[in-house]
Structure 1
């Protein structure tokens, strides 16, 4: 449900003026959460958003008549004041500032489609969270969270570094000595400097394309001063923090009757002048001329009003074979009265030289107090190296009980 704050419309007997509106909407979520990791140092209890992302959006639109309108969206995601880690940097202020989520201006024509300019969410994110899996969003139980993702390689989903391309990093939930070759994965969320186009629906089919230009002109050598870090050694081999990664994305979606199916393909391209570690571009140095492609076919089938089945099949590969593999996931959602029950299983077959497979089981229960309010429980069980001998930090379980409210 959306609350319209301002709506101005003026009509006369002889002419009609443009109609404008400004809407505020959002989602509030808090849960008591317990994390049990095989690295006991990472066991934690906290209160935070664990069924979805707490967010507030401001949306404006002006109807110009004839099916043409101009609008925009600015969204802000809020994290807790420190959460389980009461560090100075995040314990005194909320992570991220205003408009740290998707934000864009769009022009929409009923016959021609929609053009977006800015940092809109990727089509891959929509596929991964709204089509290929039950309604776990990117939180506990999701196959597309910061703790587990179905793809390796480049992405824009690193916590506190939104809109910037990074490479898959070592699993954050393991001891430093055991991290080599084990990854929690990467995600396509959104990226700055993006142009997107979405077609009108025709026989249930919509087509989508996104483009983010690559900057590759900065050839300066990286230094500790350049990257604003105390480690000169870490920047010895990198260059050019002013360069950016180019991104192209394509999607097709079919939504009609009981079927909602979507195919997405996103490709990241690094220039020959590399992208430096640190500074304002990426926290992980990227190899020169690296390309990384991630594909996903997702589908939801409504068997009956109370039962939906979900599935996703993906693959990813890079030009240097550093990232290569495939993923599968299956899930279901069952609704009875005020209750929603959902579950899914996902696994990643890592075919790179690291060969670190991972798997995840997610469960969720909602009791809907109304159309916009619910109490819920979430659980997931993640093994980050299912084909290797267990080690400290190779597995974790999370449980959350909370309440959420959308508006």
Structure 2
């Protein structure tokens, strides 16, 4: 259940400054027993994010009058099974600090909304992330094939957002919204840093590829559909050798009541490096407190002339509106070698299959 923290009534009455303001805190905790078989090497332990990304969000709005409002979001994706991952400490002397769970490492945005639509600035989520969620039921967790057969952009980590970005979303026209996204390219040519690295608070002090994205979204009745076309400009960024990429993603789902059908189609083109086509079919079936889900898909790359195949299953048993226990399974025959190595697990030569299994609990607040 989401919590709303309203201004103290006495203060609001005295000053009027907080009368139309609100702060909301919400989040997710997800952890369970996970087993990974990465191309012949197996590890089992307690892991996070088996069914959803663990996070805490601070969101705020202020009514400015005349239908205009200011708003913000600060998202932190945290590790629910490792203190060291959240505090930035390491066990090994002289080892680099862990920074993956530092405060504000997710979407950070501030903007305004009104009759014209909404405009946000910061490190804002791509529309492609939403498209991906429309096209399959596993989110970005186990079962989704995310950062394996499907991606959000062509960066090495398949980022779900870009730095120094702005995003405009139009008003809703009979269920249709349009999204325009721009992240400005930063070039410090000759530094040789990675195209998505060496960030700094000072403009011009780092390299970063540019991003442009157009999104079209529809939601009406039982049908939802989303299309995103994202282009990355790598010219003169970092070492200057990375190609420009175009990622087109289409997601559709139709709600039949207890059953829901999904379709995802994605093409990725990077000159001389990748020219792939992904298609998945998936569905869910709700039986009381239990939600069953399954997905099959394949990824073809014309450059390598190879194909990956994926199959995944899942089940949620909802203990309440906010808590659930879950099971997830994902298997990818990764002949293209796109499925990222989880952690430092070393695969066995000649093996191509990666499987992930999780049994866990998820709680939202």
- Shorter-chain TM band: 0.7 to 0.9
Q: Summarize the Cα distance change of 1:87–1:107 in structure 2 as closer, same or farther, 3 Å threshold.
A: same
1:342 CA displacement: 0.5
Q: Summarize the Cα distance change of 1:6–1:140 in structure 2 as closer, same or farther, 3 Å threshold.
A: same
Aligned pair count reads 337
Equivalent residues of 2:39, 2:351 under 8 A apart: yes
Q: Which residue of 2 aligns with 1:23?
A: 24
Q: Which residue of 2 aligns with 1:125?
A: 129
Matches within 5 A, 1:2-401: 2-7=2-7, 19-40=20-41, 42-79=42-79, 80-81=81-82, 88=92, 95-109=100-114, 111-128=115-132, 130-134=133-137, 136-144=138-146, 146=147, 148-151=148-151, 154-155=154-155, 158=157, 187-216=158-187, 218-220=188-190, 222=192, 242-271=206-235, 273-276=236-239, 287=241, 290-303=243-256, 305-318=257-270, 320-352=271-303, 354-385=304-335, 391-401=349-359
Cα deviation digits, residues 110-146 of structure 1 (max 9, x gap): x100000001111101111x20001x121110132x4
Unpaired runs of 5+ in structure 1?
159-186, 229-239, 277-285
Q: Give the whole-Å Cα distance in 2 for the aligned partners of 1:241 and 1:153.
A: 23
Equivalent residues of 1:261, 1:300 under 8 A apart: yes
1:87 CA displacement: 6.5
Cα deviation digits, residues 86-106 of structure 1 (max 9, x gap): 964999867331000111001
Higher strand proportion (structure 1 or 2): 2
* SS in structure 1 of the partner of residue 29 of structure 2: strand
Cα deviation digits, residues 329-361 of structure 1 (max 9, x gap): 100011010000011112111111x33421211
Q: Summarize the Cα distance change of 1:62–1:358 in structure 2 as closer, same or farther, 3 Å threshold.
A: same
Q: Give the whole-Å Cα distance in 1 for the aligned partners of 2:18 and 2:206.
A: 45
Q: Which residue of 1 aligns with 2:345?
A: none
Q: Give the whole-Å Cα distance in 1 for the aligned partners of 2:360 and 2:37.
A: 18
Q: Which range moves more in the overlay, 392-401 or 52-61?
A: 392-401
Q: Summarize the Cα distance change of 1:16–1:194 in structure 2 as closer, same or farther, 3 Å threshold.
A: closer
The TM-score, its normalising length taken from structure 1, stands at 0.76
* SS in structure 2 of the partner of residue 97 of structure 1: coil
Cα deviation digits, residues 26-78 of structure 1 (max 9, x gap): 000111001123332x5343332211111000011101122110011001001
* SS in structure 1 of the partner of residue 150 of structure 2: coil
* SS in structure 1 of the partner of residue 128 of structure 2: helix
Q: Give the whole-Å Cα distance in 1 for the aligned partners of 2:312 and 2:91.
A: 29
1:151 CA displacement: 4.4
Q: Summarize the Cα distance change of 1:327–1:263 in structure 2 as closer, same or farther, 3 Å threshold.
A: same
1:17 CA displacement: 7.6
Q: Give the whole-Å Cα distance in 2 for the aligned partners of 1:309 and 1:90.
A: 47
Cα deviation digits, residues 281-324 of structure 1 (max 9, x gap): xxxxx526x31000011101012x21100001111112x23111
Unpaired runs of 5+ in structure 2?
199-203, 338-347
1:220 CA displacement: 3.5
Q: Which residue of 2 aligns with 1:184?
A: none
Equivalent residues of 1:151, 1:348 under 8 A apart: no
How large is the RMSD of aligned CA atoms in angstroms?
A: 2.9
1:257 CA displacement: 0.6
